[in-house]
């Protein structure tokens, strides 16, 4: 049996974007054993995926001790191929420490830290605009050339769906009917939907609306009169259940280019994702509708979560949820 180990430590959205390529490899090599190394926080997202036989966790705050512990866990069984999906020094190091006879990653021009390619046995060329899903597929095709484009898909268990349905019901939201989830983010983050945009999305009465706050938004106040879901640390599986409920009900997700939007999209929810600081060609969730400002400032996209424009985050100031001139990226 051939064992392939994938290393993708972060971020949450990028981990999800690589799952389509892993599923594509499983489809053409079902007899192979596929393993994934990721941060402990994100590991629960991979539960129940038929393509993944084993998940090895990494404590990103654990220093050298965590690296050694992950090395031991990776080597509990022999690995034939180690694939660095992330492209930085830490992920390349872990891929090399897996002990596989073949250790590969994407070419230097596509890597987050180009010098980390030195740790690999071979680098794989890719074409087009760098994107985590595109890079992952190029790497998978290096070992299975016939692998085809596959969208990432996360699946919730029945008890998880029931718990999230009950949480929505307590807020007065009927999960059997179409509803909109607006992903609310700390406005300090340049990727966040601006407050006026959130209000406009909420005021659109074509379907009931619920605001979603993640752990990083625990300090943000809820909007008066708007149902609010608050997910706390350790509850990433709730995102999977929520996304599937949105999909089943025929609802939608509206949010920024952040991890929660990516997970909800991978769970099947129809998503509209707004971009300003980020370039949708480089980071948009596969299958989502990506929207950009009709008249962005010259500094957009900048790729930064912190705005340095003296005028503020004007690239994320949309007049209405569907402002005239907003373009859609497939």
Instruction: Label residue 294 by pLDDT band (50, 70, 90).
Output: confident
Is 289 a residue whose pLDDT tops 60?
yes
pLDDT digits (tens, 9 = 90+) for 185-199: 999 999 999 999 999
pTM of the model: 0.95
Least-confidence region, from 106-115, 282-291, 292-301, 319-328: 319-328
Q: What are phi and psi of 109, to 5 degrees?
A: -65, -25
The mean pLDDT of 225-244, rounded to a whole number, is 97
Higher pLDDT, 209 or 293: 209
pLDDT at position 1? 85
* Average confidence score pLDDT of the chain: 94
> Which CATH entry fits the domain spanning 158-329: 3.40.50.2000, 3.40.50.920, 3.30.420.40, 3.40.50.620?
3.40.50.2000
C-alpha closest to that of 41 among 181, 217, 253, 239: 239
Instruction: Label residue 285 by pLDDT band (50, 70, 90).
Output: very high
Domain positions in the chain = 3-141, 158-329
Instruction: Label residue 107 by pLDDT band (50, 70, 90).
Output: very high
pLDDT at position 329? 42
C-alpha closest to that of 73 among 40, 98, 43: 98
Q: Report the alpha-carbon distance of residue 270 to residue 13 in Å, rounded.
A: 16
Domains 3-141 and 158-329 share a fold: yes
Instruction: Label residue 295 by pLDDT band (50, 70, 90).
Output: confident
Q: Supply the DSSP string of 54-102, one letter for each residue.
A: EEEEE-TTSHHHHHHHHHHHHTTS--SEEEESS-SHHHHHHHHHT--SE
The mean pLDDT of 105-132, rounded to a whole number, is 97
Is 326 a residue whose pLDDT tops 50?
no
Encoding tokens for residue 93?
């190091």
pLDDT at position 293? 87
The mean pLDDT of 90-106, rounded to a whole number, is 98
Tell me how far CA of residue 246 lies from CA of 47, 185, 273, 316, in angstroms: 20, 19, 15, 25
Is 65 a residue whose pLDDT tops 90?
yes
Domain 3-141 architecture = 3-Layer(aba) Sandwich (3.40)
């Amino acid at each position: 049996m051939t064992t392939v180990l994938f290393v993708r430590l972060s971020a949450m959205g990028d981990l999800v974007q690589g799952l389509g390529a892993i599923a594509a490899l499983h489809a053409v090599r079902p007899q192979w054993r596929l393993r994934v190394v990721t941060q402990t926080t994100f590991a629960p997202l991979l539960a129940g995926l038929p393509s993944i036989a084993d998940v090895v966790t990494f404590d990103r705050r654990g220093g050298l001790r965590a690296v050694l512990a992950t090395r031991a866990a990776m080597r509990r069984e022999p690995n034939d191929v180690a694939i660095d999906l992330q492209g930085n020094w830490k992920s390349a190091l872990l891929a090399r420490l897996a002990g596989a006879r073949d250790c590969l990653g994407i070419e230097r021009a596509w890597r987050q830290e180009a010098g980390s390619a030195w740790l690999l046995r071979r680098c794989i060329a890719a074409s087009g605009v760098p994107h985590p899903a595109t890079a992952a597929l190029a790497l998978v095709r290096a070992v299975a050339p016939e692998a085809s484009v596959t969208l990432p898909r996360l699946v919730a268990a029945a008890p998880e769906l029931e718990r999230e349905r009950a949480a929505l019901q307590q807020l007065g939201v009927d999960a059997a009917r179409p509803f909109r989830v607006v992903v609310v983010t700390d406005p300090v983050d340049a990727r966040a939907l601006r407050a006026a945009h959130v209000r406009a999305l909420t005021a659109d009465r074509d379907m009931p609306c619920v605001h979603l706050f993640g752990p990083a938004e625990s300090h943000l106040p809820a909007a008066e009169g708007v149902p609010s879901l608050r997910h706390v640390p350790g509850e990433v599986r709730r995102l999977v259940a929520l996304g599937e409920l949105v999909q089943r009900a025929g609802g939608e997700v509206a949010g920024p280019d952040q991890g929660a939007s990516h997970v909800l999209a991978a769970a099947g929810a129809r998503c509209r994702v707004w971009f300003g600081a980020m370039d949708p060609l480089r980071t948009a969730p596969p299958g989502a509708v990506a929207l950009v400002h009709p008249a962005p400032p010259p500094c957009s996209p900048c790729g930064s979560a912190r705005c340095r424009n003296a005028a503020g985050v004007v690239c994320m100031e949309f007049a209405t949820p569907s402002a005239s001139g907003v373009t859609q990226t497939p």
